Amino acid sequence: MLHPIYDVAVLGGGPAGCACALSLRQCWPHLTVAVVEASQYDTPRAGEILAPQAMPLLHRLRVDATKDAQTLVAQSIALSWGDPTLSEHHHLFSAHGFGLHLDRRAFDRHLAQAAEKQGATLLQGTTFRAAHRDTGTWTMDLRGAENLRSRFVVDATGRNAVFARSQRVRSDLFDRLTAYSLTTQMRVEVAQTMIVEACALGWWYTAPLPSGHRIISLLTDVDLARAAGLPARAVWEQHLAQTRHLAMLHTETLTKTLQVVPAFTTVLHCAGSTGWVAAGDAVASYDPLAGQGITKALHTGILASYVAAESLMGREPEAKARYEAMLRANLAGYRHMHRTHYAREKRWADQPFWQRRHSPPARLREVAA
């Protein structure tokens, strides 16, 4: 049953939104929380790796990632970067142990069910359309459910940041990186190995899926992809055939057309304003090479819960200032890592993709709300 007015409405039921809801209900159980999720957790999602660094965050949220969610132990990562040979790195040497290959649908559903068990209201198949604030209360127009009222809003709607954009917040776009992917049958000899291989056009990534299949992705800038003839599958297969380590993985494909997913780096001009805050990819989305996707989502979701709770207790300016400072430090660390890692690959220094990353602009362009 819907409450007349929720304390916190979380828009987006992915890792960031669910982490926020879980943290709120566990730390401040007197607060009422609603999670608004556009999907029914049935939309096909690309496989993703849960880095070892995410495990303490899940433990903090009292979530067992191996229970109910479909997972596969990520034993190692093999890189062909700056050198044609593969260099293997084992998670055994991580302080947090092994990572996990995920079925993202199952993982996100598992988090949402955990939030629901903690007392959050979950509205699935529901999308945000508009909002207005009056005397300290937000009224949100939703598609798929009746209007929702709350005292505070957390935007965890992913790269689209739909609530932030509805509040006229702009963002900076740093690149146009895009992933072009197919799902194939698994090759047993590399069953649990993730492989990253650089190429002239960008870089390739492949990882096993808990279903017993494997995803293979080419990541490049969208303009370079179009110039090369993508997303035509035949063009993608021609480029895959030119790889040194991934070509032999191309067995019978399970998907007939390429799945095209944005992977660009974008950062909101501000993480929030009066009565709301953004988390996860809504506040900042990073190059997947950083391996921070789910870890960053969980971390910022938890921090956003602190901002929400403290704001409701009358300490909004201080809470927002701490959150913004953390985000700035995280972005600075990410950009340093990004420059350092891409600088290691010099074999195609004359190619547009690599030139853009060896001498990156402060930003590509500003994106209007």
Amino acid at site 230: L
Q: Report the run of H or E that residue 214 belongs to, with start and end.
A: strand 213-221
Label residue 253 by pLDDT band (50, 70, 90). low
Phi, psi values for residue 296, rounded to 5°: -65, -40
Determine the pLDDT at residue 99. Answer: 76
Q: pLDDT (tens digit, 9 = 90+) per residue, 81-115?
A: 999 999 887 644 444 456 787 888 889 999 999 99
Contact (CB, 8 A) for 131 and 140: yes
Q: Which domains does the chain have, with CATH numbers?
A: 6-173+264-330 (3.50.50.60), 177-262 (3.30.9.100)
Residue-averaged pLDDT of the chain: 89
CA–CA separation, 240 and 219 (whole Å): 12
**Sequence-ordered strand ranges (E) for 28-107:** 33-36, 48-50, 71-74, 76-80, 87-90, 99-102
pLDDT at 37: 98
Neighbours of 9 (CB within 10 A): 30
With 0-12 CB in 10 A as exposed, 13-18 as middle and 19+ as buried, what is 40?
Answer: exposed
296-346: per-residue pLDDT in tens?
A: 999 999 999 999 999 999 999 999 999 999 999 999 999 999 999 999 999
- Residue 251 has φ and ψ, to the nearest 5°, of -100, -150
Side chain identity at residue 141, one-letter code: D
Q: What is the pLDDT of residue 363?
A: 60
> Minimum mean pLDDT among 103-107, 167-171, 219-223, 299-303: which range?
103-107
Pairing of strands 259-262, 213-221: unpaired
Instruction: Kindly report the pTM of this predicted structure.
Output: 0.92
Please report where in the chains the tokens 């030119």 appear, as a residue.
242
Burial grade of 232 (CB within 10 A; 0-12, 13-18, 19 or more): middle
Q: What's the DSSP call for residue 148?
A: E
Q: What is the pLDDT of residue 178?
A: 97
Please tell me the least confidently modeled range out of 32-36, 86-90, 127-131.
86-90
Contact 140, 10 (CB under 8 A): no
CA angle 41, 293, 237 (to 5 degrees): 80
Q: Is residue 28 a contact partner of residue 70, using CB atoms and an 8 Å limit?
A: no
CB atoms within 10 A of CB 8: 27
Which range among 12-26, 30-44, 111-125 shows the weakest confidence by mean pLDDT? 30-44
Amino acid in position 8: V
Mean pLDDT of 286-297: 90
pLDDT for the residue 103: 83
Segment 34-57 shows an average pLDDT of 86
pLDDT for the residue 367:
59
Is the pLDDT at 75 greater than 80? The verdict is no
Q: Which of 41-45, 64-68, 214-218 has the highest average model confidence (pLDDT)?
A: 214-218
Model pLDDT, residue 92: 43
- pLDDT of 255 over the 90 cut: no
Give the Cα separation of 304 and 63 in Å (integer). 18
Q: Are 254 and 185 in contact (CB under 8 A)?
A: yes
Q: What is the pLDDT of residue 93?
A: 41
Tokens found for residue 274: 């009066």
Q: Angle at CA 31, nearest 5°, toward 29 and 36?
A: 110
Q: Quote the pLDDT of residue 184.
A: 83
For 224, the token pair is: 């370079």
% pLDDT > 70, the chain: 88
Q: How far apart are CA 52 and CA 221, in angstroms?
A: 29
Per-residue model confidence as pLDDT tens digits over 182-199: 988 765 555 567 899 999
* pLDDT (tens digit per residue) in 258-286: 899 999 999 999 999 999 999 999 999 99
The span from the CA of 10 to the CA of 113, in Å, is: 15
